[in-house]
Structures are given as structure tokens and as C-alpha cells.
């Protein structure tokens, strides 16, 4: 029998956006073997999808209750060890909780839950289950993002004094300007998505990224969100001012109505010695900016990169690393944790990152609703 970690997937069916990213990423370093799951709410569709991807169908279940019951009945060495949750947001909490209570490791898509309260309950559940829990803030796995983190930690840009992160997309234009579509998509339905669309979907990536690369915690936010239509209940654009301390400040600019933008996620961190800038659509370049000096461009795979960055590079310099590689690195880190091997804490985002993300979403919406006022993030 294969000694690979046995993986199950919830959601991520043929009709989904994110499923393929997780399947490819999980297979990238030969550490996981996909054995089954619940790909869709409809069993026939799940089975048909499993057949499409050449997966045996005897471990495709009708729902999570059945998956847990049947898997726990298998001998330990055959059992699913880790389950990835790739469903719409409202299912993350009940599914993750049930999996943790039954001893499974969990890889959960962001946002972690639909409320901060649920996230705190999950934290307690994890304490007793003592399993591995990862939240897929996908972009933290890129080699040059890891390099940015390590350079800032080593003091190469000096003390951080300004942060500017932009996450612009335009895809919701198609939905938001059509009354019927904006009232039927799950992403704009608070029951399925939570209290926010844009801040929860991509603002939370920006928040997690800033704390990941800078090593700093955001203490307060002031948000100005846009809903565009009276009958739309969820933000689809926002500008959020950030305070780390009295003298360290920044901004998250995030939008799903930035017409023509695709996935323009740009992270700029300025210290008192130098600045670092990274762009998701050109992820192999990390720009080092210094007053009065020509800009330098760092690239993956070179020996000048940190150990953490190099661990996320598979081929020699000149072979571009993309989004699949970034998620692959996160899965690799999770595999090390499950196998009880040494790993760098930056190899995958954790429950704590997921909880802070949820707190950020609620505080940004609260700040906006209270008239754009400074609102504290919990410690
Ligand atoms: N990390 C990232 O960069 C990133 C990118 C996109 C989406 N996401 C997150 O991934 C999650 C899914 O997003 P998506 O865009 O793939 O959504 P989607 O609507 O495209 O796909 C959702 C999938 O879940 C399935 N599903 C629904 N109910 C189910 C149930 N009860 N049991 C099993 N499967 C069920 C659907 O059939 C579908 O296959 C969301 O939480 C989203 O925020 C993360």
C-alpha cells in the first residue's frame, strides 16, 4: 500500500473554480494521494466527476456524515488522514468542526468561516483534536513572497514605515450590474458568503499577506466600502486604512469592480533603508528599491535567496514558478507537519491566520457601518 498521505476533498467538483488548483498542488511533491471525498452536493455529479479524473468511485460519498462514518470504519493505514474543504464559505465551519472532532487533519479554504465567533470555536476544537490545520492563503507559498518575508525579518529594508497593498479584480462587473444575477450568486448572499464579499474574498488575502511578509500585526482599521446598488447586501470594493502603531501605517485597496483588472495583487512594503515590491501577475520578480540606487530584481532559485524561498523552488533559475507551485508549497509544508518532520512556520498559514482574517473582515465592515471610524482588531 502507498505510504503517501491519504487525502479527501469536499467541494472542488468539475463546476468549481478552485478544485483543480488543490488537486494539482497536492500531487506536486508526491506526498499526497487523493482517495475520495464529496466533490458536489449531488452524489451522481460527484461520481461522474471522479470518473472524469480517473479516481475509483468507492470512496466518493453522498455527504460528510457518510464520509466520516465509512472512513473511520476502515483500518487505520487505509483511512483518509487529511481533508481539504473547498466548498462555499458557509460550509467551512460545520465541515471543519466535524472533521477535527473526528481526528482528521484539515486544509481549509479562506475565509476560514463566515463569522469571527465560529472561528474562535474552531480554535477551541483544534486544541482538543491536536491535528494539523492549514488555511490556504495561497499566495504566501510563492518563492519570492517567502523571500520578501525573510529579507524583512533579517532587517534588509530597515524598520517598516509604510505598507501599500492593492488587490484589484474586475470579474464581478458581469454580475453586479445585472439585478437577477446579483441576487442569485452565492458570493453576494450573506447566508452563504458571510457579511462581506470583497473584503472577505480578497481583502483577507491582502491582510494575511501583510502580516505574513512584514511580521507585524495590524492593530486598527478604518474602512470605506462600496456596495454600488441599494439591493446589494455585500461590499464589492473598499479602501481600508491600517495602523500598526502610531508611526507605522498603511492601506489596503481592494476591488472586484476595477474594470479590466484580472488578479492584480501588488504588495509594497517600505522600510527606512529600502522597499520591497511584489506583483502576483509577475510572481517571479521581487523588486528591491533604494533611494538613489538603480532598482534590483531578485528571482527564484538563486543561491542569494533564503532557505525558505529555495525550499519552494523546484527547478534551476529561469523556470517560472506560478500559482500551482505556490499552493504546492503550502501542501508540502502541511505534509511535513503531518509526517512530524521539521518545517519553517512560514510554510503554511494556520488557524491563527484564519482567525485574524475573520476578525479583520468583521472589523472592516463594522468600521464602515459606524461611519468610517477607527476600529480595533482583537489581539
Ligand atoms: N485561495 C484562493 O486564492 C481562492 C480562490 C478562489 C476561491 N477560494 C475559496 O474556495 C472556496 C470555493 O470557491 P470556488 O470559487 O471554487 O467556488 P465554486 O462555487 O466555484 O465551487 C464550489 C464547489 O463546492 C461544491 N459544493 C457545494 N455544496 C457542497 C456540499 N454540500 N458538499 C460538497 N460540495 C459542495 C460545488 O458543487 C462546487 O464544486 C471559497 O471558500 C472561496 O473563498 C479561494
pLDDT (mean) for 181-206? 95
CATH classification for the domain delimited by 5-138, as one of 3.90.1420.10, 3.10.105.10, 1.10.260.40, 3.40.50.720: 3.40.50.720
What count of other Cβ atoms lies within 10 Å of the Cβ of residue 221? 25
**C-alpha 232 chain-centroid distance:** 25
| Residues 250 and 244 sit within 8 Å (Cβ to Cβ) | yes
The residues facing 251 across adjacent strands are 164, 241
**259 pLDDT more than 90:** yes
* Closest atom of ligand 1 to CA, residue 138: 1
* Closest atom of ligand 1 to CA, residue 14: 39
In tens, the pLDDT along 133-178 reads 999 999 999 999 999 999 999 999 999 999 999 999 999 999 999 9
- Ligand 1 centroid to Cα of residue 286, in Å, is 31
pLDDT (mean) for 220-226? 98
User: Looking at ligand 1, which residue's alpha carbon is closest to its atom 39?
Assistant: 13
pLDDT band at 88 (very low <50, low <70, confident <90, very high): very high
DSSP H helical segments within the chain, as ranges? 19-27, 43-52, 64-72, 92-101, 116-129, 143-153, 173-176, 179-182, 190-193, 198, 204-214, 307-311, 323-338, 351-369
User: Looking at ligand 1, which residue's alpha carbon is closest to its atom 30?
Assistant: 41
Closest by alpha carbon to 131, among 357, 282, 350, 358? 350
Please tell me if the CB atom of residue 89 comes closer than 6 angstroms to any atom of ligand 1: yes
pLDDT band at 379 (very low <50, low <70, confident <90, very high): confident
**367 pLDDT more than 90:** yes
Q: Which cell numbers hold the place of 250?
A: 498603511
H/E run at residue 298: strand 296-298
User: Looking at ligand 1, which residue's alpha carbon is closest to its atom 31?
Assistant: 41
- Ligand 1 centroid to Cα of residue 189, in Å, is 14
End-to-end CA distance of the chain: give it in Å, rounded.
Answer: 46
**To test the ligand 1 pocket, which listed residue (86, 99, 192) has its Cβ within 8 A of the most ligand atoms?**
86
Q: What is the reported pLDDT for 2?
A: 77
116 three-state secondary structure: helix
Closest by alpha carbon to 346, among 208, 146, 111, 151? 146
**C-alpha 2 chain-centroid distance:** 29
What DSSP state is assigned to residue 199?
I
Please tell me if the CB atom of residue 15 comes closer than 6 angstroms to any atom of ligand 1: yes
Residue 94 burial (C-beta neighbours within 10 Å; 0-12, 13-18, 19+): middle
In tens, the pLDDT along 90-113 reads 999 999 999 999 999 999 999 999
**To test the ligand 1 pocket, which listed residue (10, 12, 18) has its Cβ within 8 A of the most ligand atoms?**
18
- Ligand 1 centroid to Cα of residue 18, in Å, is 6
- Ligand 1 centroid to Cα of residue 85, in Å, is 8
| Residues 163 and 268 sit within 8 Å (Cβ to Cβ) | yes
- Ligand 1 centroid to Cα of residue 70, in Å, is 24
321 three-state secondary structure: coil
* Closest atom of ligand 1 to CA, residue 200: 43
Count CA within 13 A, CB hemisphere, residue 6. 17
pLDDT band at 357 (very low <50, low <70, confident <90, very high): very high
Range with the poorest average pLDDT among 95-109, 183-197, 266-280:
183-197
Please tell me if the CB atom of residue 41 comes closer than 6 angstroms to any atom of ligand 1: yes
**To test the ligand 1 pocket, which listed residue (88, 96, 281) has its Cβ within 8 A of the most ligand atoms?**
88
70 three-state secondary structure: helix
**1 pLDDT more than 70:** no
Closest by alpha carbon to 372, among 190, 211, 227, 238? 238
What homologous superfamily is domain 142-314+362-369 in, according to CATH? Dihydrodipicolinate Reductase; domain 2 (3.30.360.10)
Domains of the chain, residue spans? 5-138, 142-314+362-369
Rounded to an integer, what distance in angstroms lies between the CA atom of residue 97 and that of residue 129?
Answer: 10
Mean pLDDT rounded to a whole number for the chain: 97
In tens, the pLDDT along 19-77 reads 999 999 999 999 999 999 999 999 999 999 999 999 999 999 999 999 999 999 999 99
Report the percentage of the chain scoring pLDDT > 90: 99
273: left (phi over 0), alpha (psi -120 to 50) or beta: alpha
Give CA separation, 237 vs 92, 164, 202, 218, 252, in Å.
24, 16, 10, 20, 11
The residues facing 240 across adjacent strands are 223, 252
Q: What is the reported pLDDT for 120?
A: 98
Please tell me if the CB atom of residue 88 comes closer than 6 angstroms to any atom of ligand 1: yes
- Ligand 1 centroid to Cα of residue 45, in Å, is 15
Query: Model-level pTM?
Result: 0.97
Q: What is the reported pLDDT for 236?
A: 98
* Closest atom of ligand 1 to CA, residue 137: 1
9 three-state secondary structure: strand
Please tell me if the CB atom of residue 73 comes closer than 6 angstroms to any atom of ligand 1: no
Amino acid at each position: 500500500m502507498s505510504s503517501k498521505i491519504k487525502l479527501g476533498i469536499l467541494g472542488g467538483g468539475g463546476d468549481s473554480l478552485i478544485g483543480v488548483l488543490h488537486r494539482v498542488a497536492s500531487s506536486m511533491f508526491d506526498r499526497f494521494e487523493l482517495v475520495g471525498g464529496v466533490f458536489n452536493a449531488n452524489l451522481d455529479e460527484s461520481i461522474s466527476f471522479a470518473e472524469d479524473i480517473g479516481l475509483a468511485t468507492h470512496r466518493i460519498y453522498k455527504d460528510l456524515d457518510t464520509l466520516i462514518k465509512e472512513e473511520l470504519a476502515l483500518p487505520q493505514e487505509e483511512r483518509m488522514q487529511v481533508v481539504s474543504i473547498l466548498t462555499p464559505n458557509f460550509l467551512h465551519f460545520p465541515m471543519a468542526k466535524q472533521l477535527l472532532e473526528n481526528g482528521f487533519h484539515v486544509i481549509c479554504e479562506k475565509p476560514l468561516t463566515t463569522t469571527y465567533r465560529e472561528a474562535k470555536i474552531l480554535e477551541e476544537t483544534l486544541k482538543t483534536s491536536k491535528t494539523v490545520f492549514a488555511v490556504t492563503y495561497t499566495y504566501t507559498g510563492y518563492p519570492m513572497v517567502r523571500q520578501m518575508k525573510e529579507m524583512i525579518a533579517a532587517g534588509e529594508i530597515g524598520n517598516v514605515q509604510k505598507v501599500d497593498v492593492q488587490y484589484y479584480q474586475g470579474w464581478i462587473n458581469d454580475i453586479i450590474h445585472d439585478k437577477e444575477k446579483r441576487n442569485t450568486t452565492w458570493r453576494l448572499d450573506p447566508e452563504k458568503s458571510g457579511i462581506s464579499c470583497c473584503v472577505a474574498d480578497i481583502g483577507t488575502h491582502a491582510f494575511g499577506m501583510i502580516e505574513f511578509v512584514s511580521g507585524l500585526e495590524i492593530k486598527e482599521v478604518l474602512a470605506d466600502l462600496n456596495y454600488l446598488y441599494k439591493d446589494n447586501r455585500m461590499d464589492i470594493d473598499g479602501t481600508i486604512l491600517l495602523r500598526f502603531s502610531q508611526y507605522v501605517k498603511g492601506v489596503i485597496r481592494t476591488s472586484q469592480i476595477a474594470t479590466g483588472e484580472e488578479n492584480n495583487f501588488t504588495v509594497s512594503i517600505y522600510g527606512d533603508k529600502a522597499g520591497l515590491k511584489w506583483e502576483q501577475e509577475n510572481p517571479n520578480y521581487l523588486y528591491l528599491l533604494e533611494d538613489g540606487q538603480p532598482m534590483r530584481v531578485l528571482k527564484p532559485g538563486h543561491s542569494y535567496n533564503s532557505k525558505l524561498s529555495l525550499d519552494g523552488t523546484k527547478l534551476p533559475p529561469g523556470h517560472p514558478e506560478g500559482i500551482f507551485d505556490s499552493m504546492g508549497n503550502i501542501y508540502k509544508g502541511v505534509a511535513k507537519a503531518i509526517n512530524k518532520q521539521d518545517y519553517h512556520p512560514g510554510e503554511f498559514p494556520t488557524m491563527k491566520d484564519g482567525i485574524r482574517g475573520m476578525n479583520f473582515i468583521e472589523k472592516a465592515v463594522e468600521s464602515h457601518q459606524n461611519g468610517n471610524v477607527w476600529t480595533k482588531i482583537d489581539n
